[in-house]
Amino acid sequence: MSRVASADVRFAVRLTPRGGADRIEGVVDGGLRARVAAPAVDGAANDALLRLLARELGLPRRDIRLVAGATGRNKVVAVDGISAAGVRRRWPDLVT
């Protein structure tokens, strides 16, 4: 994946906490669908989501942050250190 110095790629994620396992389910209607085993308590599900995205994109956790939706299922995530094209190579139907 191509890395860039100061990219800020944003995309929507619909998260299911207590989903049994940490996994990306795919892209639906231009947004990413994800499940995490962690409950939606004290930010545990959000932290698990950010770790999952970091692992999937091969980036350090510090390069991924939640910018909207901290208390809901629908979230907006910002990613530094990768281009929009790099993210779309991983998930081609994702709207960035």
Domain with 58, as residue range(s), is 9-90
Strand spans (E) along 1-96? 9-16, 23-28, 31-35, 64-68, 74-79
Could you report the per-residue pLDDT of 54-65, keeping only the tens digit for each? 999 999 999 999
Taking only the tens place, the pLDDT of each residue in 4-47 is: 445 589 999 999 999 999 999 999 999 999 999 999 999 999 99
Half-sphere exposure of 20 (CA within 13 A, CB side): 3
Q: Provide the CATH number for the domain around residue 42.
A: 3.30.1200.10
Q: Is residue 36 part of a domain?
A: yes
pTM: 0.89
- 96 part of a folded domain: no
- 16 falls within a domain: yes
Report the pLDDT value the prediction gives residue 1, as an integer from 0 to 100: 46
pLDDT at 3: 46
Domain count, the chain: 1
Q: Is 85 part of a structural domain of the chain?
A: yes
- Is there a domain that residue 48 lies in? yes
